[in-house]
Amino acid sequence: MGPDLALRAIAEPHRREILRMVRTHELPVVEIATRFPTLSRPAVSQHLRVLCDAGLLSMRRSGRNCFYRAREDRIDRLRAYLDLFWGDRLAALKRAAEREARR
């Protein structure tokens, strides 16, 4: 069930970076790949697959381009799961503020 695939997906730095890139606007694979000079293109394709399987990305085909984009609804769902998992958010903010004030 739910958040496992997504959590595993975002545990990988490259995939977090991809997710960040397609948050505000969709991008074709070529564009994503060129921003990873150290990575082969299949590697990027495979990361995209993992993110899609986790439900965090959607894909749109147009001609010979594949545009990927973050699925905001799924991201929100993951955030909701994590919020529930971590527990009281206000308490956390309060602690953070106290630690900040202590310096």
Partner DNA sequence: CCAACCGGTAAGCGAATCCTTACCATTTCC
Partner DNA sequence: GGAAATGGTAAGGATTCGCTTACCGGTTGG
Binding site for DNA (CB under 7 A): 8, 11-12, 14, 28-30, 33, 38-43, 45-50, 59, 63-67
Q: How many residues touch a second copy (CB under 8 A)?
A: 24
63 by Cβ neighbours in 10 Å (0-12 / 13-18 / 19+) ranks as exposed
Q: Which structure tokens are listed for 57?
A: 């990305």
Of 42 and 87, the one with the shorter C-beta distance to DNA is 42
Cβ 37 to DNA, closest distance in Å? 10
Q: What's the CA gap between 54 and 72, in Å, rounded?
A: 13
Among 41, 49, 60, 79, binds a second copy (CB under 8 A): 79
DSSP state of 42: H
